[in-house]
Structure 1
Amino acid sequence: MKSQFFLDKNITFLNHGSFGACPKPVFEEYQRLQLELETEPVYFMQKSLVGYLKTARERLSKFIGCDATDLFFTPNPTFAINIVMRSLKLQPGDEILTTNHEYGAMDRTWNFYCKKSGAKYIRQNISLPIVSKEQILEEFWKGYNSKTKVIFINQISSATALIFPVKEICDKAQELGLITIVDGAHVPGHIDLNIQDLNPDYYTGTLHKWMLAPKGSSFLYVKKEFQNDLEPLVVSWGYESDAPGESQFLDYHQYQGTNDVSAYLCTPKVIDFLSENNWTEKSRACKQIVLDNYQRFCDLLNTKPICPITTAFLGQMASVPVRTKKPAELKELLYDKYKIQIPVMPINGEIYLRYSINAYNSQEDLDVLYKALQDIIATTDLIEV
């Protein structure tokens, strides 16, 4: 599969989780659409685009388990959550319950909103190591009280790479009458996703990570009862449109002026590529490599796993605790000297070395990492063991 990607052959690439990687057939479709746009931009923007977007939404909706009229494309999940955030009508003192494992950009988004609204962002501690799903649920709901109005949670955390029991959290939140917002940036194409089964009020996911789309392709799903409450982040021609489309929801959010949305339009090609290359089986093999190597790296670094080493908690990436006082220097050394692209991620006072495995990776890539860490431990003081 490595030949299907443009990735630099001189780099051991273990960081798919950050920005993904686009296969050549999908990228060729991306460029074809861009060329079509440039060949006749007026016709493309005024005639072709609406149909292309509808087809892309329909294909995506079947892939993620929801109705095609309940989602629209966004450049990234941060953009999507900003839309949701600005449409909430919380009062001073109302609380948004989340965990201390959320993505940094999301924490900043909610902190911004809380300064404006007077609401409070409650980062409930989920302690490590995780021992069970029940532990996560028990610790999470300790943050709930009568002031809680919104639940915000990532389905797979970025820094710690943990899979959270979002289905159980959404079910209880619905019973309590809470608004549920799920950040599924790492989910589509990575683990099974059926949005109707999860039953959140809002769900955002990324296509340019594990689904392999070109950069800048994500979506926001909104349950029908909340769609008319959602204000456009950018007001454009769809607002109070002279030629209304199939729904106000799509009019307000689907088209926001001149913009190259070719990445969105590649969605059918993306899904075809995954199907033609038996991606479910490839993903399963990648997950097995992740599991097979996790304890090995913990042993090398003299640290302990942060969760049970099973697919209940780990997908195609894993975060290994590493004791270092210089995470930025460690990351730079791994890249500059050993040609390994891998994040060294700080969160909650701890540091994690997070490796991602996709179909273009092999056991040999992790062996390269292992040998590099052995050398760093033997020759520098960057890692404490």
Structure 2
Amino acid sequence: MTTNLTQHFLLDPKVVFLNHGSFGACPRPVFEEYQRWQAKLERQPVEFLDSRRGLEANLRVARTALAAELRTAPDNVAQVSNATTGLNIALQSLPLKAGDEILTTNHEYSALEKTLLFIARRTGAKIVQVTVPLPLTSADAFHDAVRAGITPRTRVLFLSHITSPTALLFPIETLVAEARAQGIWSVIDGAHSPGHTPLDLDALGADFYSGNCHKWMMSPKGSAFLYVRPELQAMIDPLVISHGWTADNKEPGVRGPFGASAFVDEIEMQGTRDPSPWLAVPAALEFRRAHDWWRVAAECGRLAQETAARVSDLFGLPPLSSPEFSAPQMVAMPIPACDPLAIHDELYRDYGIEIPVFEWQGHHIARLSCQGYNTREQMDLLVRALGDLLAQRQPRRKQSQG
């Protein structure tokens, strides 16, 4: 990689950090802005948390900056602490009943699989899980696999935009459009998407979309959003009823008690909590602009794909997708069958490498994230370490001559 921005991050220099996808890493200037907000809160907490004296205005600044990045209106985006929370708000607001079907795939994040199970048990709805064929090499094949699960009882389409276990970038656009045409609510898990792939939420047209800012957008931990199309905001009930709740309807144009849309106020105004991570989102966006981060991300993507190809060649195991369906900076690399926790621990103990290693539906995977602070030398170390630890588990292959 031609650009390395290690000096801007607070990561332990003794650790080869290849797991940005789990919790991200916050650049130093963004973290300092986050701490500035926290210090301001502690200097005068009553004034800071009083909506009339600045809180609502500060929240609106962050919301407006993020909405511009997501290409939607500020009243369509509400602050939440993480994507799981946002998706729970959306899913638990849907008026499902016994016999309704929730269509999803076998690549979803485990926490949200539990959310769907909870909702199914509470409402009597049925979860229909389709298998996305691997390797994923065709948008049509993905569309057809999911489309085959739609029935007259389908009420919800729940999809990851970028999958957590398999690091795939699902081509969801045509399925979102088809769901809309059939009167099916589309709920999209965008936990890994903001800052990782360009988003235009209004153009995408999903009914509900929740994403983290603290992963690839690199804002502080605890900053995320829930997007809801304006005509559906009246459906949304917050998980916690607090100061922002209103008995009035939440149709487009109706303002909440604190001046934002009723949808935003109900979710954001919930008593004492530290909004500093959210208030630092504009600083994260500015950091990305100042360092031309989409260019940095493209370099990271090339390095991630090169490394994945080396690991594939090392073990003779095919990739889970063609490059266009791999997450831009994150690749789930198949490795030989092993005790994944033991390999994870050995990589960390013996090589200082932090990377998730796990088993998923019969596949053993090391999921590589590549961010602007990573280097080719670190990738060389990873390939060498995986070879040291796993090559002996492979059947012997004839050595090439020459």
TM range (shorter): over 0.9
Per the alignment, residue 305 of structure 2 pairs with 291
CA contact 1:245–1:251 (8 Å) conserved in 2: yes
The SS at the match of 1:228 is: helix
Q: Please give the TM-score of this superposition, normalised by the length of structure 2.
A: 0.92
| Residue 6 (1) aligns with residue 10 (2) | yes
| Residue 304 (1) aligns with residue 318 (2) | yes
| Residue 53 (1) aligns with residue 59 (2) | yes
Which residue of 263, 269, 286 corresponds with 1:249? 263
Counterpart-to-counterpart distance in 2, 1:178 and 1:339: 47
Counterpart-to-counterpart distance in 2, 1:142 and 1:10: 49
| Residue 20 (1) aligns with residue 24 (2) | yes
Per the alignment, residue 151 of structure 1 pairs with 157
Counterpart-to-counterpart distance in 2, 1:68 and 1:101: 31
How far is 1:171 from its partner?
A: 1.0
Per the alignment, residue 33 of structure 1 pairs with 37
For the aligned residues, what is the CA RMSD? 1.5
The AA in structure 2 aligned to 1:162 is L
Counterpart-to-counterpart distance in 1, 2:257 and 2:125: 38
Which residue of 188, 207, 212 corresponds with 1:182? 188
The SS at the match of 1:21 is: coil
Counterpart-to-counterpart distance in 2, 1:214 and 1:109: 25
CA contact 1:75–1:217 (8 Å) conserved in 2: yes
CA contact 1:6–1:23 (8 Å) conserved in 2: yes
- Closer, same or farther: CA 128–51 of 1 in aligned 2, 3 Å: same
CA contact 1:324–1:384 (8 Å) conserved in 2: no
Which residue of 309, 312, 331 corresponds with 1:318? 331
The AA in structure 2 aligned to 1:16 is H
Which residue of 44, 48, 51 corresponds with 1:44? 48
Deviations 1:237-283 (A, max 9, x none): 11238945232212211111100110000011111100011101101
How many aligned residue pairs are there?
382
| Residue 166 (1) aligns with residue 172 (2) | yes
Per the alignment, residue 88 of structure 2 pairs with 82
Deviations 1:139-187 (A, max 9, x none): 1111111111110100000110000011111111111111011111111
Unaligned runs of 5+ in 1: none
The AA in structure 2 aligned to 1:168 is T
34-43 vs 173-182, which moves further: 173-182
Q: Please give the TM-score of this superposition, normalised by the length of structure 1.
A: 0.96
Counterpart-to-counterpart distance in 2, 1:232 and 1:334: 42
The AA in structure 1 aligned to 2:276 is S
How far is 1:349 from its partner?
A: 2.5
Counterpart-to-counterpart distance in 2, 1:138 and 1:238: 42
Per the alignment, residue 114 of structure 2 pairs with 108
CA contact 2:56–2:258 (8 Å) conserved in 1: no
Counterpart-to-counterpart distance in 2, 1:384 and 1:99: 33
CA contact 2:336–2:390 (8 Å) conserved in 1: no
The SS at the match of 1:227 is: helix
| Residue 280 (1) aligns with residue 289 (2) | no
- Moved >4 Å (runs of 4+): 241-244
CA contact 1:323–1:384 (8 Å) conserved in 2: no
The SS at the match of 1:85 is: helix
- Closer, same or farther: CA 115–39 of 1 in aligned 2, 3 Å: same
Which residue of 345, 349, 352 corresponds with 2:358? 345
Per the alignment, residue 276 of structure 2 pairs with 262
- Closer, same or farther: CA 223–10 of 1 in aligned 2, 3 Å: same
CA contact 1:22–1:213 (8 Å) conserved in 2: yes
Q: How many percent identity over aligned positions?
A: 38
Counterpart-to-counterpart distance in 2, 1:210 and 1:313: 15
Counterpart-to-counterpart distance in 1, 2:132 and 2:364: 16
Counterpart-to-counterpart distance in 2, 1:256 and 1:384: 58
CA contact 1:328–1:344 (8 Å) conserved in 2: yes
The SS at the match of 1:152 is: strand
